[in-house]
């Protein structure tokens, strides 16, 4: 059951703005810096992208091997955290290298990034290592998944601090990190925390039906109430 403050917030925002489906950000705030490792000026988006998992738009193909890369479009890599290990990391690196050689967009989802019933809490140090490996081969977005609801502000802080300690070429990990929270009230609030100034995560998965991730309108409502610039990215993910 929703707490009264959140329920009231969502009612107010829905009355003002309605559905977020198909809406695009009009702010598009950016920043830039010179990356000495690559010798390039890097431009960073400073608004939060909401990825609607059910949007009828260009799909990212879920791929199990480099031989299965699609002819066009992008690639989604799925890894699974298991306490002190992350399954699928070696395969993900190989696939990402092949995809980036063809200039394809690549996203990676680390499921159970904060923990699961079977293996307990995930070691932030293993997330740090895997994120560095994925960034080094050019993965554009690295999403921390919370399929079993282990995520909270403390777990998020440990993961973000560990991952962002890495110094990588090009776009920093702070701007590659994403979150797919559990589709619960707590997950909605975690999205708001993640997008706030403390963590400033720029990529958040949402779901119009609220099944695979927090409901899109509710997350957008919370971000709007908190004054966080955001827009909907139409990329469809499995």
Residue 234 pLDDT greater than 60, yes or no: no
Domain ranges in the chain? Answer: 46-60+74-233
Q: How far apart are the C-alpha atoms of 77 and 87, rounded to whole Å?
A: 11
pLDDT per residue as tens digits for the range 171-195: 999 999 999 999 999 999 999 999 9
pLDDT at position 53: 87
Q: How far apart are the C-alpha atoms of 188 and 175, rounded to whole Å?
A: 20
pTM of the model: 0.85
For tokens 């990825």, name the residue: 51
Burial 84-108 (b: 16+ CB within 10 A, else e): eebebbebbbebbebbbeeebbbbb
Look up residue 210 and give its two tokens: 């609220």
Handedness of CA 48, 97, 91, 71 (dihedral sign): positive
Identify the CA nearest to 175 among candidates 23, 33, 1.
33
pLDDT per residue as tens digits for the range 21-35: 333 434 468 888 788
| CATH class in words for 46-60+74-233 | alpha beta
Q: How far apart are the C-alpha atoms of 33 and 42, rounded to whole Å?
A: 5
pLDDT per residue as tens digits for the range 77-128: 999 999 999 999 999 999 999 999 999 999 999 999 999 999 999 999 999 9
CA distances from residue 203 to 34, 88, 94, 138, 139 in whole angstroms, order as listed: 23, 22, 24, 16, 13
């Amino acid at each position: 059951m929703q707490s009264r403050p959140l329920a009231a917030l969502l009612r107010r925002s829905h009355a003002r703005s309605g559905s977020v489906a198909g809406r695009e950000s009009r702010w598009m705030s950016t920043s830039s810096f010179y990356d000495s490792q690559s010798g390039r000026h890097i431009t960073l988006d400073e608004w939060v992208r909401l990825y609607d998992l059910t949007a009828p738009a260009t799909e990212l193909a879920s791929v199990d091997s480099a031989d299965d890369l699609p002819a066009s479009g992008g690639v989604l890599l799925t890894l699974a955290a298991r306490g002190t290990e992350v399954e699928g990391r070696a395969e993900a690196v190989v696939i990402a290298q092949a995809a980036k050689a063809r200039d394809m967009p690549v996203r990676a989802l680390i499921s159970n990034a904060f923990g699961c019933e079977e293996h307990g809490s995930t070691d932030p140090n293993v997330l740090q290592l895997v994120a560095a490996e994925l960034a080094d081969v050019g993965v554009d977005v690295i999403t921390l998944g919370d399929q079993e609801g282990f995520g909270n502000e403390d777990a998020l802080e440990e993961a973000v601090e560990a991952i962002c300690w890495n110094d990588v070429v090009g776009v920093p990990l702070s701007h590659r990190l994403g979150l797919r929270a559990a589709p619960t009230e707590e997950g909605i609030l975690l999205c708001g925390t993640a997008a706030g100034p403390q963590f400033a995560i720029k990529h958040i998965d949402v779901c119009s039906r609220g099944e695979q991730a927090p409901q899109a309108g509710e997350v957008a409502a919370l971000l709007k109430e908190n004054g966080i610039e955001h827009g909907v990215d139409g990329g469809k993910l499995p």
